[in-house]
């Protein structure tokens, strides 16, 4: 078990050398291994007369592989083909993860079924991926299959796959037969608990697997590298080529070689580019150079470009080959010894009350194509003027520059403040009614100065200060104005139309109970929301007449009692409300005095005045029979279970039929 912490990774270009005479084979992209939109793979074939080993890369977050092209070509140069495959976009729910595992089974089955077509060696698989891709590959990679030679994984097994141990844990797949594993992590162990910058790709997750490998006696099969930092994809995969060699081939012992790289002569900032010279060792591979600080000096090939003054280490390297190891690096310091910049603050103008503009500076004296972007601490321009400063001229002062390459001479500029414009904001006025209360106008200006108002039609609305009093129905234009002051120009007037309409009113008029011809006159009690006088009418004066709000009963029957209110200057007419008034007759049928009481009734209805057997039927207004039977002389009916409403009672006695209305309350 190896755990390695890295703070700076040097990626050896020798890993990416192409074998002499090796030519690229066209890629095959977007092949579907299943019917789903995300069930596809890309194939990067190594050229070979014999079947090639395969490295499988499961995508990190959907769409395409994170592997850089240089890594793909380096693997192809080693005779290893690459299959980059896609599945579900995200993992999380068990059902989604299971779908990803199913996709892995389907993908590997497709590769085996098409191995002859693509010249794959199915006895030598290396399985890998990043983040989500490590979870998708995990189950298949740990099956007891001698053809799986190793696993290479970046930011493996993120925190979320450990959250449901009752469902699944990655450790469940580990067996004595598990293959070699190489983990690479960006962050340090415990990064998921970082107080300000947590990362769910915690190396501790990989260490759990390493502990289990050790417990099973296979700890020599796993290696973990962490803390490689926020680096590019090349750094993530930098160990992949060497790892695939180690699991696929037996590497021969190589000879040593050395290079010569003499001390460097000091340079001055602004000097021209110059070439580095070193003598390489026996491998014949080219010598490459790296600058430890590209903000001081950059290197292209063996040409040094001076960026700024300072000290930088130049590292000379030579890669090995099949016979020779890489030469030990030689590091030589390069000292770049500073130029005066004239920095002028440019003149600016602004209006009173505005924030100061962004001040700008003009530079004279840069060399080597430099500009202010390269300065360590660029100069800034400031002024004593604040938002409330009165209109006049103020100095713009340039200062504060610091840089390892330049010193500074400053020339001040001028900020001129002028009077500001002001704008009135008066929102459209909502329509009001004649009974609405007075209300306040709420116009504002960017100057926060007092606003004056006037009404074009005082018969509709008057204004005192900012308060509008409603006078009557109609329209009036409300004008807001502000004349300005010493710091602000007058504002353009803003006009909004105020419309006043009559108010609506409604009548509250309860349904009328049934009466009998023997009942006395009674008063109607409808009210209008406006409190205006209600007018009543009777549709049938043979049944009832109305005087004011008093109803006089005239005879049996029904009449429509209508309540109305015609409105006035402040109110629209109310919608009429009509209720039916029923007057029941109390009288004699063929010399028989018949009484039904109480009526209206809530529970027990008494029928009195008939003799002998009486058959009865009670129906509702839809003529549906609800009660029927027979009684003797005076008898009672229980109507307590019937809903409130009007019913018809038909009585048959001594060869006659009598019909009466019954009101259930």
pLDDT at 6: 56
Q: How far apart are CA 29 and CA 42, in angstroms?
A: 4
Measure Cα distances from 17 to 152, 285, 641 in Å: 21, 10, 99
Taking 80 as the threshold, does the pLDDT of residue 261 lie above it?
Answer: yes
> How many secondary structure helices (H) and strands (E) does the chain include?
7, 49
Average pLDDT over residues 78-104: 88
Taking 60 as the threshold, does the pLDDT of residue 35 lie above it?
Answer: yes
528: number of Cβ within 10 Å: 20
Summarised one tens digit per residue, pLDDT across range 478-533 is 999 999 998 999 999 999 999 999 999 999 899 998 887 777 889 999 999 889 99
Average pLDDT over residues 30-46: 92
Name the 3-class secondary structure at 204: helix
Taking 50 as the threshold, does the pLDDT of residue 535 lie above it?
Answer: yes
- Helix (H) or strand (E) run with residue 303 in it: strand 303-306
Q: Is 2 among the domain residues? A: no
Q: Are the C-beta atoms of 340 and 270 separated by less than 8 Å? A: no
Together in a domain, 180 and 39: yes
Quickly state the pLDDT bin for 107 (edges 50, 70, 90).
Answer: very high
CATH number at residue 346: 2.60.40
**Strand pairing report for 120-130 and 148-154:** parallel
Q: Which residues contact 292 (CB under 8 A, 6 or more apart)?
A: 312, 313, 314, 315, 331
Taking 70 as the threshold, does the pLDDT of residue 130 lie above it?
Answer: yes
Peptide bond into 598 cis (omega under 30): yes
Give the lowest-confidence range in 118-127, 324-333, 474-483: 324-333
Measure Cα distances from 353 to 348, 360, 487, 489 in Å: 15, 20, 8, 12
Q: Is 447 among the domain residues? A: yes
Query: Residue with structure tokens 């007058």?
Result: 490
Q: What is the DSSP letter of 526?
A: -
Together in a domain, 411 and 428: no
Query: Residue with structure tokens 């989604």?
Result: 96
Residue span of the structural domain in which 511 resides: 507-584
Final residue before a domain boundary, out of 309, 337, 365: 337
Taking 70 as the threshold, does the pLDDT of residue 611 lie above it?
Answer: yes
Q: How many domains does the chain have?
A: 6
Q: How far apart are CA 478 and CA 467, in angstroms?
A: 11
What is the rounded average pLDDT for all residues in the chain? 88
Together in a domain, 350 and 204: no
State the DSSP string of 597-642.
ESSSBSSEEEEES--SEEEEEEE-TT--EEEEEEEESSEEEE-TTS
Give the lowest-confidence range in 3-7, 143-147, 330-334, 487-491: 3-7
Q: How far apart are CA 239 and CA 278, in angstroms?
A: 27
Q: Are the C-beta atoms of 661 and 513 separated by less than 8 Å? A: no
Together in a domain, 407 and 431: no
Residue 160 burial (CB < 10 Å; 0-12/13-18/19+)?
middle
pLDDT at 654: 86
Q: What is the DSSP letter of 267?
A: B
Q: Is 5 among the domain residues? A: no
Summarised one tens digit per residue, pLDDT across range 559-594 is 999 999 999 888 999 999 999 998 886 544 455 677
Rounded to the nearest 5 degrees, what angle is found at the Cα of 347, between the Cα atoms of 346 and 348?
115
pLDDT at 302: 95
Rounded to the nearest 5 degrees, what angle is found at the Cα of 143, between the Cα atoms of 141 and 148?
55
Q: Is 548 among the domain residues? A: yes
Rounded to the nearest 5 degrees, what angle is found at the Cα of 429, between the Cα atoms of 423 and 430?
155
Name the 3-class secondary structure at 202: coil
Final residue before a domain boundary, out of 198, 214, 248: 248
Summarised one tens digit per residue, pLDDT across range 298-323 is 999 999 999 888 899 999 999 988 77
Together in a domain, 468 and 546: no
Which segments of 197-257 are extended strands (E)? 222-226
Average pLDDT over residues 64-83: 87
Taking 50 as the threshold, does the pLDDT of residue 17 lie above it?
Answer: no
Query: Residue with structure tokens 């005779």?
Result: 79
Summarised one tens digit per residue, pLDDT across range 412-449 is 999 999 999 999 999 999 999 988 999 999 999 999 99
Together in a domain, 36 and 142: yes
pLDDT at 409: 94
Q: Are the C-beta atoms of 250 and 189 separated by less than 8 Å? A: no
Average pLDDT over residues 258-276: 92
CATH number at residue 626: 2.60.40.10
Summarised one tens digit per residue, pLDDT across range 380-417 is 999 999 999 999 999 999 999 998 888 899 999 999 99
Per-residue tokens: 288? 């490459």
Length of the chain: 665
Taking 60 as the threshold, does the pLDDT of residue 147 lie above it?
Answer: yes
Q: How far apart are CA 42 and CA 37, in angstroms?
A: 14
Together in a domain, 515 and 445: no
Summarised one tens digit per residue, pLDDT across range 177-235 is 899 999 998 888 998 888 888 888 899 999 999 999 999 888 888 999 888 876 555 57
Q: Is 434 among the domain residues? A: yes
CATH number at residue 156: 3.40.50.1820
pLDDT at 230: 60
Quickly state the pLDDT bin for 13 (edges 50, 70, 90).
Answer: very low
Together in a domain, 89 and 217: yes
Q: Are the C-beta atoms of 414 and 398 separated by less than 8 Å? A: no
Together in a domain, 215 and 273: no
Query: Residue with structure tokens 């000097």?
Result: 271
Together in a domain, 101 and 226: yes
Q: Which residues contact 451 (CB under 8 A, 6 or more apart)?
A: 424, 441, 443, 444, 445, 466, 480, 481, 482
Together in a domain, 414 and 445: no
Q: Is 467 among the domain residues? A: yes
Together in a domain, 164 and 232: yes
Which has more pLDDT, 518 or 271? 271
CATH number at residue 519: 2.60.40.1080
Measure Cα distances from 583 to 66, 516, 518, 556 in Å: 92, 5, 9, 5
Average pLDDT over residues 613-634: 90
Quickly state the pLDDT bin for 1 (edges 50, 70, 90).
Answer: low
Q: Which residues contact 102 (CB under 8 A, 6 or more apart)?
A: none
Q: How far apart are CA 378 and CA 424, in angstroms?
A: 41
Residue 380 burial (CB < 10 Å; 0-12/13-18/19+)?
middle
Q: Is 630 among the domain residues? A: yes
Which segments of 307-434 are extended strands (E)? 310-318, 327-336, 340-345, 348-351, 361-364, 380-382, 393-399, 407-411, 413-418, 424-425, 432-433
Final residue before a domain boundary, out of 393, 418, 443: 418
Average pLDDT over residues 89-117: 90
pLDDT at 25: 58
Q: Is 15 among the domain residues? A: no
């Amino acid at each position: 078990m190896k755990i390695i912490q890295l703070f700076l990774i040097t990626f050896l270009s020798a890993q990416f050398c192409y074998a002499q005479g090796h030519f690229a084979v066209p890629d095959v992209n977007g092949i579907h291994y299943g019917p789903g939109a995300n069930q596809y793979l890309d194939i990067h074939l190594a050229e070979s007369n014999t079947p090639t080993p395969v490295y499988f890369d499961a995508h990190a977050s959907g769409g395409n592989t994170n592997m850089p092209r240089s890594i793909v070509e380096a693997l192809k140069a080693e005779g290893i083909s690459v299959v980059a495959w896609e599945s579900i976009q995200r993992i999380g729910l068990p059902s989604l993860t299971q779908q990803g595992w199913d996709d892995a089974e389907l993908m590997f089955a497709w590769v085996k079924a098409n191995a002859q077509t693509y010249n794959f060696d199915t006895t030598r698989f290396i399985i890998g991926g990043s983040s989500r891709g490590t979870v998708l590959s995990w189950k298949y990679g740990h099956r007891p299959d001698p053809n799986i030679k190793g696993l290479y994984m970046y930011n493996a097994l993120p925190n979320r796959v450990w959250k449901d141990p009752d469902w699944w844990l990655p450790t469940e797949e580990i067996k004595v037969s598990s293959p070699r594993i190489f983990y690479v992590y960006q962050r340090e162990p415990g990064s998921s608990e970082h107080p300000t910058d947590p990362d769910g790709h915690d190396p501790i997750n990989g260490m759990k697997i390493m502990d289990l490998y050790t417990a099973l006696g296979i700890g020599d099969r796993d290696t973990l590298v962490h803390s490689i930092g926020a680096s590019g994809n090349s750094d993530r995969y930098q160990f992949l080529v060497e790892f695939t060699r180690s699991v696929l081939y037996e590497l021969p012992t190589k000879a040593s070689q050395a290079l010569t790289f003499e001390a460097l002569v000091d340079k001055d900032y602004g000097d021209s580019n110059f070439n580095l010279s070193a003598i390489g060792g026996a491998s014949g591979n080219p010598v490459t150079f790296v600058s430890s600080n590209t903000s001081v000096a950059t290197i292209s090939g063996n040409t040094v470009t001076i960026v700024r003054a300072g000290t930088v280490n130049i590292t000379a390297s030579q890669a090995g080959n099949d016979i020779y190891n890489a030469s030990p690096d030689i590091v030589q310091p390069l000292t770049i010894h500073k130029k005066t910049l004239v920095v002028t603050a440019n003149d600016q103008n602004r209006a009173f009350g505005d924030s100061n503009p962004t001040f700008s500076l003009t530079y004279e004296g840069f060399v080597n194509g430099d500009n202010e972007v390269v300065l360590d601490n660029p100069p800034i321009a400031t002024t004593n003027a604040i938002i409330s400063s009165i209109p006049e001229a103020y100095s713009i002062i340039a200062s504060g520059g610091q840089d390892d390459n330049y010193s500074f001479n400053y020339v001040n500029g001028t900020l001129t403040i002028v009077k500001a414009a002001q704008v009135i904001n008066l929102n459209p006025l909502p329509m009001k009614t004649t009974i609405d209360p007075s209300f306040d106008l709420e116009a504002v200006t960017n100057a926060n100065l007092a606003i004056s108002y006037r009404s074009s039609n005082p018969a509709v609305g008057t204004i005192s200060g900012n308060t509008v009093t409603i006078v009557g129905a109609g329209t009036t234009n409300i004008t807001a104005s502000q004349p300005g002051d010493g710091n602000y120009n007058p504002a353009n007037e803003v006009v909004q139309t105020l419309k006043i309409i009559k108010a609506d009113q409604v009548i509250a008029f309860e349904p009328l109970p049934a009466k009998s011809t023997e009942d006395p006159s009674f008063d109607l009690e409808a009210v209008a929301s406006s409190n205006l006088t209600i007018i009543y009418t009777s549709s049938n004066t043979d049944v009832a007449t109305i005087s004011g709000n008093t109803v006089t009963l005239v005879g049996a029957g029904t009449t429509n009692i209508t309540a109305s209110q015609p409105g006035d200057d402040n109110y629209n007419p109310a919608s009429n409300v009509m209720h039916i008034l029923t007057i029941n007759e109390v009288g004699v049928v063929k010399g028989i005095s018949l009484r039904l009481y109480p009526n209206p009734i809530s529970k027990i209805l008494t029928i009195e005045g008939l003799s002998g057997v009486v058959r009865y039927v009670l129906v509702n207004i839809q003529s549906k029979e609800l009660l029927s039977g027979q009684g003797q002389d005076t008898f009672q009916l229980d109507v307590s279970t019937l809903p409130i409403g009007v019913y018809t009672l038909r009585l048959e006695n001594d060869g006659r039929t009598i019909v009466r209305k019954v009101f259930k309350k």
